[in-house]
Chains A and B, each alone.
Chain A
Amino acid sequence: MKYSWWKILGVLLLLYVFTFGFLVPLKPGIIAVSPVSIEANHVSNISITGYNSNYQSQESSLQVWLKIDSTSGYQATSLRVNGERQLTATFDIGALPDTTEALLLVVNAEDGTAIRPRAVKINSAEHQPASVPSKLSALPSKTFQTKAGFYFPYRSILDETIRNTFFHVALWMAMFVLLLIGLYHSIQYLRTKRIEYDIKASSYSYAAILYGLLGLATGSVWARYTWGTWWTPDVKLNMAAITMLIYAAYAVLRAGIDDIDKRSQLSAIYNIFAFAAMIPLLFVIPRLTDSLHPGNGGNPALGGEDLDNTLRMVFYPAIIGLFLLGRWIATLNIRIETLRIHKLQSDL
């Protein structure tokens, strides 16, 4: 009991992650807009479907804006609310010099501001005579306000899958910590030649492989329901795939040598060498995706903008919890392998 406090801590942290990770609601957002393309110089109706929103009960303070540039936008001239999640906004949009992808803002006292970037494309109608007077006006300074209380941020394509940060991304971070521990034990093995370091190194690496495979699987599912494909050129997904290839090779190498001392020695050497070969990936792959897929470098879940404080309050415990679980898995393996070695030695 004295030595398993960290197991209990890990389980409690994971319990906290599962509870809060699933129960904390998202901030209000805009889930769908139609039509997505309107003509300038027309009066247009746009129907908006909200998410976790309170349109009906907050109808008195409801404002809808189409933001054109950093300071100005069109306010909806009339609103028709059809329930808490549905509303139709009417915009009088005058002639526009350029075709613009406008940002949609829905504001009310309860929900704060819901934002949908590039929500509506306004096609410029430059050559037509101005039939609709332009209602372009400056945005009020307190348009951007956030809903008070503990909520996860709403991101337009991610929706609820932002919760995957706690499971998928944290898994990946925990994997990296396990790999580092495996590397440390490999170095220790080369220095001391003691078999327990080899057992530790391999067990931590195997636990990391398990996490890596799960990370790939969950990443694939996440990609499927946000970006529409099972596999994307996303930086981190491909990094994880290469890491898995390297550590699968490590497992194959260990399986390919019968002599225990030789196996320990060679796998420790390969582990260090492979880790050194993996580090450049951190610099190589981002440059590659940036240049080959401009503006398409994936959707990094750890960007400063994406990870806000509410997410952090669950994300960091998730990393620690998953790491402790991985350590538990690794220790079980270590104990089994140690027993086996003892048995081999006593047989001789």
Chain B
Amino acid sequence: MIQKTLYILLIIMTPVLLMAHESADFLRSTGKIYSVVLAVVLIFLGIVFYLVRLDRKISRLEKEMLD
């Protein structure tokens, strides 16, 4: 479960990181609007990360309840 979520996160993160590092000019184009997009994507990823943690907590609780 942990590995799976990590892989998924990595897959989502990779293009973002690549964008951030390799083509900084792209992020600066159109009045730097894409850096705002990057910030929003980061917030989204953070909330997804929290959801994954919550998910795992609930699964553990479920397992304990059923045992």
Contacts and interface: CB of A to CB of B under 8 A. Distances in A.
Interface residues of A, number: 32
Given A214-B43, A221-B39, A336-B61, A160 B33 contact: yes
Contacts of A51: 31
Main secondary structure of the interface of B (DSSP, over half): helix
A244 B14 CA distance: 26
Contact of A31 (B31, B38, B47, B64): B31
Contacts of A80: none
A105 B24 CA distance: 29
Given A167-B43, A218-B43, A221-B39, A161 B32 contact: yes
A239 interface: no
Interface in B15-67: 20, 24, 27-28, 30-33, 35-36, 38-40, 42-43, 46-47, 50, 54, 57-58, 61, 64-65
Interface of B: 20, 24, 27-28, 30-33, 35-36, 38-40, 42-43, 46-47, 50, 54, 57-58, 61, 64-65
The 9 tightest CB contacts between A and B, nearest first, are A160-B31, A159-B31, A225-B35, A218-B39, A160-B33, A214-B46, A217-B42, A163-B36, A159-B32
22 contacts: A159-B31, A160-B30, A160-B32, A161-B31, A161-B33, A161-B36, A163-B36, A164-B35, A167-B39, A171-B43, A210-B46, A214-B42, A217-B39, A217-B42, A218-B39, A218-B43, A222-B35, A225-B24, A225-B35, A332-B54, A336-B61, A339-B61
